[in-house]
Structure 1
Amino acid sequence: MRNRRILSLWFPRLGAERLLRQMRTLPPEAFAIVGEQAGRQTLTSLSVGAESRGLYRGQPLAEARAICPELVTRPQNLQAERAFLAALRRWAGRFSPWIGEEPPDSLIVDLTGAAHLFGGEDGVLQTVETDCARLGLTVRAAIADTVGAAWALARHADMPAPTGRNGDSIDQEARATRSRAARRHWLKGGAPPLPAARAITSSRIAAPGQTRQALAPLPLAALRLPPNIVDGLARLGLRHVGDLLGMARAPLARRFGPALIRRLDQALGLEPEPISPARQPLHFAVRLTFPDPIGLPEDITAGLDRLLPALCRRLQDQGHGARRLRLQLFRTDRSVQELTFGLARPSADPMLMRSVLNVRIASIAPGFGIDVMRLEAAETEPYQPRQHRGPLAGTDGPAPAAQAEAMSLLISRLGARIGMEAITRLAPADSHIPEKSALILPAAWSEPADHWPHPHAPRPAVLFRPEPVQAADIPGVPRQFRWRRQDLVTASATGPERIAPEWWLDDPEWRSGTRDYWRVETTSGIRLWLFFAHGADIAGGWFCHGVFA
C-alpha cells in the first residue's frame, strides 16, 4: 500500500515502570526486574536510575549487584506484563483501531489516514509523549511506511553511530571492562542507556517514500536480525543497513540464509508485513441499578426477569451460549455477594437459566438492601439452537433432542445445589478387564454413550476390589467357603469365564495371573462373582469380585 503509515511504540522500561507506578512509597533510585534466562538470573527491565549506574538488560544479577549494591529488584511476572501491554493497546486505540501487539514491550499501530486528527505526524508523536509522561512510562515512537522501518527508527534513531573494529574498539574489551564503563554493545542489538528526557525529534519520522534514506545510517540490528547474522556481517565489514542496499541478494542469501533478505525486504516494503490486531475478547454482562434498595425474593426474581432476556439476546447475536453464570449483588453497605451457576451445556435460553437461578435464590442474603444486580456469562462456548421436535419425531415419547435438553436441565439444577463436578456418568472403555470397562466422566462435560458393548457373560451390579475367600485351593468351584465372616454353601454355579491380565501393563491387582470367573448362587440367596487366580508373581486362590442383584 503506497500511502500506508505505521506507528511503532516501544516501551523499553515497561516491566520496571509497571511496578514503579504501583509503589505508594518513594521509589528506589535503582530498580530492576529479574527474570531467568539460560538457567541464570538476569535483568529484564531497568529504571532510569539503574541504567544511569551502568546496568543494562540481560546483565547477570550477581554482576549488577557488584556494580550497584543498592539495587532493588523484583521477580518478573510475564502474565502481569502481558496484561499491562494489553491495557496499553486499549489506550493506543485513540490513534487507530488497527493495533497489533509485539510482546513483550511494543505496539504497532496502522496510522494510515488518522494522523491529521492530531495535527499531523509530529502531533501524534507529541501526544504519545505527553500521555506516556502522564502515565509514568518511557516511550520511543517512530512513524514510517513499513512495520520494519518504524520498528528500526523507534529503537535505533538518535543513537550514536557505531565505530569501526580496531584495537581500541569498545566492543573488543572484556565484559567486565564494558560493564564498569557503563557501555553496551550496540552492534549486537543493544542500545545505549536511554536518556531520561523524552524529547521528540524529526529523525524518528521517515517521510513517505523516504524509507531507504531513513534506514541507511542505522545499524544492522535495526533489521530485526539474529545476533549471529549481525556478527557475521560485521566480520565482513558491513555495519549499516545502507551497506546492504546496493549488494547482490543471491550471495547474501547463500551465506546468511533467507532470513536476512526477508527482513530487508520487509523493512523496505518489498515484502508485505500485515499487522495482526489482537481480537477483543467477547464479554457478556448486564446490570440493573435500583432507585431504592430491594431485599424481597420476589423483587430479586423480578430483577432477574429483566436481566436474563438482555443477556441472552447478546449471546444469541454472537452465536454463543453460557456455560457458567455469575450473579453479583451489590449491597448498600458496599459488600458484594457473588453466586456462580454452571450449565450442563451451552445455552442462550432465558427460561433454562431462570430455572437454574431459582435454585439458589433462597440463599441470597440481601442485608440492608441490594442496590445493583449484575449478571455475567463468565464462560461461553459457540452455540447453535437445537430443534426439539421435528416432523419425523415419534408420538410415543419425547424426541431425542428434547430428552437431551431435559437431562441437561436436570444436571444444571443438581449442579447448582451440590456442584457440577459431583455429577458423573459412565462411559465405555476399551478394555476387557472388568474394573476398567467403564470410565467415570463429569456429566456436564461429556455426552452419553450411544452404544455399550455387551460382555461375553453377565456382570455383577456391584463391583468392588477383590476380597479373599477361604476355600479349598483348587480350580473347581468349592461346595463350601467363607466370605466376610459368613459360612456359605454353593447351590449352583455357572462358568468359568477366563480373563487374562493385560500383559503390556504392570497392574499390581493382576499380578496373581489369569483368572477363572464363576457366577455362584448360595443356599442363602446371595449371588456372588467369584474367581480363581492361577498365580503368577504372587500366589493365587479364590476371591470375590462383585455381587449380583
Structure 2
Amino acid sequence: MPRKRYLSLWFPRLAAERLLRQDRGASPGPLAVVADRRGAQVLASLSAEAEALGLTLGQPLRDARAICPDLVSQPENPVAEAAFLTTLRRWAGRFTPWVSEEPPAALVLDITGCAHLFGGEDGLVAEVERDCARLGLSLRLGLADTVGAAWALARFAAGPAAVTHAGDAIDQEARATRSRAAKRRHWTRGGQPPRPLPAASAARIAPVGGSRSAIAPLPVAALRLPGETVEALTRLGLRRIDDILGTPRAGLARRFGTGLVRRLDQALGVEPEPVSPARPSVRFAVRLGLPEPIGLAEDITAALDRLLPELAERLARAGRGARRVRIEFSRADHTMQALEVGLARPSAAAERIRPLLMMKLGEVEPGFGIDQLRLSAPLHEPVHPEQHRGHVEAGRRADIPGDSREVEDLMGRIGARLGLEALTRLHPAESHVPEKAALVMAAAFAPPARDWVAGAERPLRLWPPEPVTMPDRPDPADSFRWRGRDHEVVARRGPERISPEWWLDEPGWRSGQRDYWRVTTHRGERLWLYFAHGAALSAGWFCHGMFA
C-alpha cells in the first residue's frame, strides 16, 4: 500500500487577488482588503504591490494610509471569498478527487497515487504553480506524509515567497475569428513575455518518510497551536518543534493540555488526519452556442426546443425534478439577461416546463443579438415513482381537492406571472379558536391537506372583529348597525359558544367567551356575529366574518 502524501496549498493574498482578477488588465495600484477588528479597521489582505511598500497584515488603515497615500482599500467580503475558495477547490479536482477546503484561504489535497500522472511529485507541484501563475494567484505550498506537516511546510518553510501576479493567461478572441485565426500568445500582441516560474523549493517538499526531519527546524507555531500555547512554549525556551520532540508526552500534556500532544501526533503521523472531500454539487445545465446572433422570437423558441429535452433527460436519468428553471441569454455586446420560472411540483417533463418558459419569452430583449443560451435547473428535488395501489387508492386521491396534475400546472402558470410565493393554501391547526384554526402555507411547497376533519361551518372571509351597534343582550335583535349602515335580520342561527384558550393571554380575547350567530340580512349578506360576554374588556356585539 503506497504511503499517504498530502499537498497543502495556501493562498496568502486570496482576498486581494480575487478583487484584482475582477478588474483584469486594470492597475488599481496598491490594494488592501479592510476588515473590522474590535471597532478598528485593519488590513486583512494585501496585494504584492502593497506588501512591497512595507504594509503589513493587521496594520490599522489610518497608519497604512500615512505610509501609502495612494492605497486603494476595499471592505472584506467573506461570502464572496468563500465562494472563490470553493471555485479553487473545483479547480484542484483536476489533480486529485480528494480535496478539502481550509478556510479562509487554503486547500488540502490527498495526492496518494496521483503524482505519477504528472511525472512525479515535482511535475505535479510545477503544474500547480503554473496554473496559479496563470490565474494571477500567489501561492505557498507544502508536500509531506501528513496534513499537519504539509500545512507547516507551506507556511513556515524557507523558499520562494509566492508566485507573482501574472494576470489571466486565457486567450480571449472574437467568436467569429476563433476558428480561423492562428493562435497568438499575449506577448506577441504587445504584452510582456512570460516570466519563468521558480522551481519548486526542496525545503517545502518532504521526502517520503522524512516529515519528522522536515518540520523539526520549524517554529512551534507550525503545529497549528493557539497563540497562548505558542507564547507559553516560547517563554520556556521551546521555540522549535525539535525542542519538544524529545520532551516526555505526559509532561507536555500536563503543562499545556492534550491539544499540543494531539497536534504533534498529527504532524508526525501517529494520529491519522484524513482528508474529507466536499460532496460534489449536482448541477443540471445545458448550453447552446450559436454561429450567428439571433433575435427573432421564432429562433429563440427553436433554440429553447433544442435545449429543453436534453435538460429534461438529464433530470430524469438522475431521478430529479426541477423546481426552478433558469434560462440565460448572452448577447453579442457581452451583456446577459436571465429569466426564471418556478414549478408547483418537481418535474422532469419537458411538456410541463415549456409552457411556463414560453410565458416568459416575451420579456426577452435581444439587443444586438443573442449568441448563446444556457438552460439550467438551479433548484431540483428527488422525484420518486409512485406505485399503483388500485382503484380504491386512486379514488381516495381524486377526492382530495387540489391534488391533481391540472391544478399543479395551473399553479405554475399563475406563479409564472405573480410568483409562487403569492399562492397559498390552508392546512388544519390544533386550535378551536377561529383565527388559529388553519395555517396559511405556500401552495407550491405544501401538499393538500388529506385528513381535514370537517367541523362546524365557518365563514369564507374572516376579518378582525368589527363593532356592531345592537342591544347588549345575548340574543340578536331584529336590526343592527354595522359599517355605517342599517341591516335588518331575516334569519338567524345559533348560538355556538367558543371560549378563549385560558392558558394564553390573547389580546383579542380579553372580552371573554363568545356566542356566535349566523345572521342573514335583508340584502342577502350572511354574516358571522358574536356576542362577547365580557371579562377584562366590556361586553358587546361584533362582526367577525362573512359566509359565501
- Give me the TM-score of the superposition, normalised by structure 2: 0.82
AA of the residue aligned to 1:345? R
- Contact 1:95 1:114 survives alignment (8 Å): yes
1:176 equivalent in structure 2: none
Shift of 1:201: 2.5
3-state SS of paired residue (2:104): coil
3-state SS of paired residue (1:250): helix
Q: Distance in 2 between matches of 1:400 and 1:515?
A: 35
3-state SS of paired residue (1:447): coil
1:463 equivalent in structure 2: 462
2:322 equivalent in structure 1: 322
AA of the residue aligned to 2:220? L
- Contact 2:403 2:447 survives alignment (8 Å): no
2:472 equivalent in structure 1: 473
2:28 equivalent in structure 1: 27
Q: Distance in 2 between matches of 1:286 and 1:393?
A: 42
The range that moved more, 54-63 or 242-251, is 54-63
3-state SS of paired residue (2:342): strand
CA separation of 1:429/1:207 partners in 2, compared to 1, >3 Å: closer, same or farther?
A: same
Q: Distance in 1 between matches of 2:156 and 2:396?
A: 74
The range that moved more, 517-526 or 36-45, is 517-526
CA separation of 1:375/1:21 partners in 2, compared to 1, >3 Å: closer, same or farther?
A: closer
The range that moved more, 3-12 or 123-132, is 123-132
| 2:273 matches 1:273 | yes
Identical amino acids, percent of aligned pairs: 57
3-state SS of paired residue (2:404): helix
- Give runs of aligned pairs for residues 201-280 of structure 1, distance below 5 A: 201-280=201-280
2:114 equivalent in structure 1: 114
CA separation of 1:48/1:330 partners in 2, compared to 1, >3 Å: closer, same or farther?
A: closer
Shift of 1:526: 3.9
AA of the residue aligned to 1:475? P
2:384 equivalent in structure 1: 384
- Give runs of aligned pairs for residues 115-134 of structure 1, distance below 5 A: 115-134=115-134
Q: Distance in 2 between matches of 1:394 and 1:110?
A: 53
Q: State the Cα deviation string for residues 125-165 of structure 1 (Å, max 9, x = none).
A: 33433443343322111211111101001111128xxxxxx
CA separation of 1:107/1:482 partners in 2, compared to 1, >3 Å: closer, same or farther?
A: same
2:353 equivalent in structure 1: 353
Q: Distance in 1 between matches of 2:154 and 2:378?
A: 39
- Contact 1:125 1:142 survives alignment (8 Å): no
1:186 equivalent in structure 2: none
3-state SS of paired residue (1:412): helix
Shift of 1:446: 0.9
AA of the residue aligned to 1:471? M
| 2:501 matches 1:495 | no
Shift of 1:223: 0.7
- Give me the TM-score of the superposition, normalised by structure 1: 0.82
- Contact 2:28 2:72 survives alignment (8 Å): no
AA of the residue aligned to 1:425? R
Q: Distance in 1 between matches of 2:546 and 2:123?
A: 83
Shift of 1:500: 3.5
How well do the aligned residues superpose, as a CA RMSD in angstroms? 3.3
Shift of 1:359: 4.3
2:547 equivalent in structure 1: 548
The range that moved more, 325-334 or 470-479, is 325-334
Q: State the Cα deviation string for residues 26-85 of structure 1 (Å, max 9, x = none).
A: 3324x3211123443222112334434554323333454455555432110112222222
AA of the residue aligned to 1:230? V
- Contact 1:292 1:371 survives alignment (8 Å): yes
1:95 equivalent in structure 2: 95
Q: Distance in 2 between matches of 1:285 and 1:414?
A: 25
| 2:356 matches 1:343 | no
- Aligned length, in residue pairs: 509
CA separation of 1:527/1:338 partners in 2, compared to 1, >3 Å: closer, same or farther?
A: same
Q: Distance in 1 between matches of 2:335 and 2:65?
A: 46
Q: State the Cα deviation string for residues 370-426 of structure 1 (Å, max 9, x = none).
A: 655432212112222334x44445686976899433332222222223332222211
3-state SS of paired residue (1:85): helix
3-state SS of paired residue (1:35): strand
1:10 equivalent in structure 2: 10
- Contact 2:531 2:541 survives alignment (8 Å): yes
- Contact 2:316 2:348 survives alignment (8 Å): yes
1:520 equivalent in structure 2: 519
